[in-house]
Chain A
Amino acid sequence: MASRYDRAITVFSPDGHLFQVEYAQEAVKKGSTAVGIRGTDIVVLGVEKKSVAKLQDERTVRKICALDDHVCMAFAGLTADARVVINRARVECQSHKLTVEDPVTVEYITRFIATLKQKYTQSNGRRPFGISALIVGFDDDGIPRLYQTDPSGTYHAWKANAIGRSAKTVREFLEKNYTEDAIANDNEAIKLAIRALLEVVQSGGKNIELAIIRRNQPLKMFSAKEIELQVNEIEKEKEEAEKKKSKKTA
């Protein structure tokens, strides 16, 4: 039955599905994992870096992109689709500043991206964007925000979320470990993001890309060394926790 209703995007199936949109969500699940965490004074985005071919220049593969000075996003899914969406969002950020003299709020640009995605689920001859996005940033009022959009054009605010391959595992990890203590300070929030990614990423810190925004500061991309430092700290903490456990049992 699905095969009769999944060709055209603008056709509902008898039981109310838009199959093209659902297939787009499947495409997202094939993309590499991205995780976003909203701390008290910081927002963190982490993505799993696919290992690049030997001859490929690593720096051209960027999955975390700034939309404006105070907003950035990570995506999971089709990279080419993401490039188009990010470009439109960047233009909108500047147009908004031009017409209204104020930088966009995180919610505004999320709504714009979501509306753009929805338009493509209701047009002839187009297919939906095959990406989910995690959008983070600070508004003028200094409150940190994290939003997630999906190919259908819905968006929600989250305290912490993951998208892409193994998103479910990461989300379960976050549900267990996102506590007031875990985001007590900036460093803890960063470590939580890395720990969440380490659950599903092979070969550790080398395959992680990390970016943070602190209140009133621009986007900061972590270098490979800085990530390694954090990963080493996490491993030390793990070891100490295990030692304590073994002491208790012994």
Chain B
Amino acid sequence: MALQDVCQWRAPDTQGASPHLPQAGGWAVPQGWDPQTFLQTHGPRLAHGTTTLAFRFRHGVIAAADTRSSCGNYVECPASRKVIPVHQHLLGTTSGTSADCITWYRVLRRELRLRALREGQLPSVAGAAKLLSGMMSRYRGLDLCVATALCGWDRSGPALFYVYSDGTLLQGDIFSVGSGSPYAYGVLDRGYRYDMSTQEAYALARRAVAHATHRDAYSGGSVDLFHVRESGWEYVSRHDAWVLYSQLQKLSEPEKEGEEEATSGRTGPGGEPSEGRALGHPRMPAETEML
């Protein structure tokens, strides 16, 4: 110990984060600059447009997202993957800066794998969420932007956690993240029940994302749907968002025609895009009567 103290040598910490990750606050900025100011004036303009959602129910956890990656005014990628698998029983929906999301998920994957090797079993979803939020909170104030919902199945059944890069960690039954989330929340809150069947859950998730892509400029492309069951995660489907939305409009039309018989003359043609808005007005009074 005496010799160690004299030489100021410290044993490498094999249990902590890798020493090769940059230390918190260790950004390579020009000399004399405060990292935060530098990034705010000269840093990259980050885009956060997306709609992702996740909810847990009796038969597992559903994760759904759109596929549009936008950068300012143009669509960088119309078919990106926003739901990332971590291990067989854990998925993460990503929102915020995609580079940050993907990097931190790789780090999380590494941490979970190491712990699985050491302990003989993977940490619970709560543990994974805690680890992720702990790792990211060390970079608070440095413009990390990761808003993610961890969806998994562990010993306690279906589990869902929301993690934000400032260190927020929330447990819940429904989360929607991104610029399209208000629209998705509206649909989700209307149709969510813990005891839904799997098909009902799929329909609800698709409907929520489709509605969000319809109104939010930064969401669009396709609708990805994932399901985490007891046996692991499953990529259920990818549907084009616009096609999906039109189908949903068509589905709702015949029901409303039948119930609007009392107020005749208001039934319009099928859900063609240009007439969607026009149909909205005559239909609204009828809807409020029904509801």
Beta-carbon contact of A125 and B3 below 8 Å: yes
Q: Report B83-129 residues with CB < 8 Å from chain A CB.
A: 115, 119, 123-124, 126-127, 129
> Contact check: which of A98, A108, A126 meets B1 at CB < 8 Å?
A126
Interface: B291 (CB within 8 A) = no
CA distance A98 to B4 in the complex (A): 31
Q: Which of chain A's residues have a CB closer than 8 A to the CB of B123?
A: 100-102
Beta-carbon contact of A101 and B127 below 8 Å: yes
B119 nearest in chain A by CB position: A108
Beta-carbon contact of B4 and A105 below 8 Å: no
Beta-carbon contact of B124 and A102 below 8 Å: yes
Beta-carbon contact of B115 and A123 below 8 Å: no
Interface: B248 (CB within 8 A) = no
Inter-chain residue pair count (beta carbon < 8 A): 36
Nearest CB on A from B89, distance (A)? 15
Flag B2-42 by CB within 8 Å of A: 1 or 0 each: 11100000010000000000000000000000000000000
Q: Chain A, interface size: which category?
A: 10 to 19
A112 nearest in chain B by CB position: B15
CA distance A140 to B126 in the complex (A): 15
Interface: B190 (CB within 8 A) = no
Beta-carbon contact of B131 and A125 below 8 Å: no
Beta-carbon contact of B1 and A124 below 8 Å: yes
Beta-carbon contact of B4 and A99 below 8 Å: no
Beta-carbon contact of A124 and B134 below 8 Å: no
A122 nearest in chain B by CB position: B11
Q: Report A31-62 residues with CB < 8 Å from chain B CB.
A: none
Beta-carbon contact of B4 and A124 below 8 Å: yes
Total number of B residues with any Cβ neighbor in A under 8 Å:
16
Beta-carbon contact of B115 and A100 below 8 Å: yes
> Contact check: which of B2, B11, B119, B131 meets A99 at CB < 8 Å?
B131
Interface: B130 (CB within 8 A) = yes
Beta-carbon contact of B126 and A123 below 8 Å: no
Q: Report A91-110 residues with CB < 8 Å from chain B CB.
A: 98-102, 105, 108
CA distance A164 to B4 in the complex (A): 33
CA distance A119 to B2 in the complex (A): 16
Q: Which of chain B's residues have a CB closer than 8 A to the CB of A99?
A: 127, 130-131, 134
Beta-carbon contact of B127 and A125 below 8 Å: no
> Contact check: which of B1, B127, B129, B155 meets A123 at CB < 8 Å?
B1
Q: Which of chain B's residues have a CB closer than 8 A to the CB of A123?
A: 1, 4
Q: A100-B130, A101-B124, A102-B124 are in contact. Are A125 and B1 (CB under 8 A)?
A: yes
Q: Which of chain B's residues have a CB closer than 8 A to the CB of A125?
A: 1-4
Beta-carbon contact of B127 and A100 below 8 Å: yes
CA distance A24 to B186 in the complex (A): 68
Q: Which of chain B's residues have a CB closer than 8 A to the CB of A105?
A: 119
CA distance A56 to B197 in the complex (A): 68
Nearest CB on B from A109, distance (A)? 12
Q: Which of chain A's residues have a CB closer than 8 A to the CB of B2?
A: 124-125
Q: Which of chain A's residues have a CB closer than 8 A to the CB of B126?
A: 101-102
CA distance A108 to B121 in the complex (A): 12
Q: Which of chain A's residues have a CB closer than 8 A to the CB of B124?
A: 100-102
Q: Which of chain B's residues have a CB closer than 8 A to the CB of A98?
A: 130
CA distance A126 to B1 in the complex (A): 7
Most buried by A among B11, B127, B155: B127
Nearest CB on A from B14, distance (A)? 10
Nearest CB on A from B82, distance (A)? 26
> Contact check: which of B1, B3, B130 meets A101 at CB < 8 Å?
B130
Nearest CB on B from A171, distance (A)? 28
Nearest CB on A from B12, distance (A)? 12
CA distance A100 to B126 in the complex (A): 7
Q: Report B143-177 residues with CB < 8 Å from chain A CB.
A: 155
Beta-carbon contact of A124 and B155 below 8 Å: no
A124 nearest in chain B by CB position: B3
CA distance A100 to B121 in the complex (A): 12
Nearest CB on B from A90, distance (A)? 17
Residues of B within 8 A of A (CB): 1-4, 11, 115, 119, 123-124, 126-127, 129-131, 134, 155
Starting from the known contacts A101-B127, A124-B4, 15 additional A-B residue pairs (CB-CB under 8 Å) come to: A98-B130, A99-B131, A100-B123, A100-B131, A101-B123, A101-B124, A101-B129, A102-B126, A102-B127, A119-B11, A123-B4, A125-B2, A125-B4, A126-B1, A140-B155
Closest 7 CB pairs of A and B: A125-B1, A100-B127, A101-B126, A101-B127, A125-B2, A101-B130, A124-B3
**Can you show 12 pairs from A to B with CB atoms below 8 A apart?**
A99-B127, A99-B131, A99-B134, A100-B115, A100-B130, A101-B126, A101-B130, A123-B1, A124-B3, A125-B2, A126-B1, A140-B155
